[in-house]
Amino acid sequence: MVDWREPIKVLADLLVKELPISSDRIFIYNDGRPLPKDDGLYIVLSINGSEVFRNTSKTKNIKVGEEVTFTEIQDQNFKQDIIVSVISRDSSARTMANNVVMALSSIYSQQLQERYACHIARISNITDASFLEKTDMLTRMDVLVHILSWKQLNKTVDYYEVEDVESIFES
């Protein structure tokens, strides 16, 4: 089975490896670390939305030794939109935003996609979002990245004809 990793973390791994910026300058939104207060460039990744386009559930009898277990396999495919905000007090964010897009089609990007069975779109939109920073006078370039991914959950379940199904909520 293929490893699964959150798409936003796959993208963060890619940027750490491909961009000339240290890992302590790349943040995932709300990861608990304070943003830098200095004048250096930094990057914040945030999820803009997710669209599920396939959601299935199937069952399978799996034999382990002499024991057969009834297993439910839940499978989901989805597209996640991630915003890569490149932020600086000078104009360096404008050029670094293009480097983000170039990293999407790198060999390392392809290796990550193979490892985690996902697809990172190679072309993205870059939007000047500096107006959101108001009086801080920061340059903020937002790169919208689309990632197709999947997730699978396997769990042992009871057969359908079980009669003692527990009600958790009372009417």
- Secondary structure of residue 165 in the 3-state scheme: coil
The whole-number pLDDT of residue 163 equals: 60
pLDDT category of residue 132 using cuts at 50, 70 and 90 = confident
Phi–psi pair at 4, nearest 5 degrees: -120, 140
What letter does residue 24 receive in the DSSP assignment?
G
What pTM did the predictor assign?
0.85
The whole-number pLDDT of residue 1 equals: 58
Q: What structural domains does the chain harbor?
A: 7-52+77-148 (3.30.2000.10)
* Alpha carbon distances (Å) from 72 to 45, 64, 150: 34, 15, 17
Q: What integer is the mean pLDDT of 6-23?
A: 97
Q: Residues 138, 124: contact at Cβ < 8 Å?
A: no
CB atoms within 10 A of CB 146: 19
Q: Residues 110, 17: contact at Cβ < 8 Å?
A: no
Structure tokens at 46: 């945030």
> Residues 68-82: pLDDT tens digits?
888 899 999 999 999
- State the Cα–Cα distance between residues 9 and 45, nearest whole angstrom: 9
